[in-house]
Amino acid sequence: MTVKKILVVDDEPDTVAYLTAILEDHEYAVCSAHNAEKAMELLDAELPDLMLVDVMMPGASGLNLIRQVRTHPRCGDLPVVVVSGKAEVLREGFKSYLDRFSVKQPDGIAEKPFDPASLLKMVDGLLQGR
């Protein structure tokens, strides 16, 4: 069985460390980026199986990163899960922003603080058959 790789994109080191611990404890390989620019560099170098991305980051937002990923020829079908403390408020914002660019919506939304079991269930479900 091949180990699945997950890219975690979040500007909060504590969130990255927490997500990494949860995912690695369940046999996922994790790489991380603290901003959208670094995430795109990692995506160009090595395509992960799934991406977890925070919305509110300095510089390019997570929504902008999702738009870049969805329109990238190499990773347009990469499963993307948005992680945010404001997920409920931003849910319609995702839709209107990404619809404006005719870009596929995120595959899931994980609200901070995370419930590890729910997050893993979502990640496992998205990675089935990939």
For 5-127, CATH number out of 3.30.2310.20, 2.30.30.40, 3.40.50.2300, 3.40.50.300 equals 3.40.50.2300
Least confident window among 50-54, 71-75, 78-82:
71-75
Among candidates 127, 122, 130, 53, which has minimal Cα distance to 94?
A: 53
pLDDT number for residue 121:
96
Q: What is the mean pLDDT of the chain?
A: 87
Question: Which single residue is written with the structure tokens 């995506």?
Answer: 43
> What's residue 119's pLDDT?
95
Residues above pLDDT 70, as percent of the chain? 84
Phi first, then psi, for residue 22 (nearest 5°) are: -60, -50
How confident is the model over 77-107, as pLDDT tens digits? 899 998 887 655 565 556 666 667 667 778 8
Cα-flanking dihedrals φ and ψ of residue 83, to 5°?
-115, 130
In angstroms, how far is CA 99 from the centroid of its own chain?
18
Kindly write down the DSSP assignment for every residue of 58-85, as one continuous string. SSS-HHHHHHHHHH-TTTTT--EEEEET
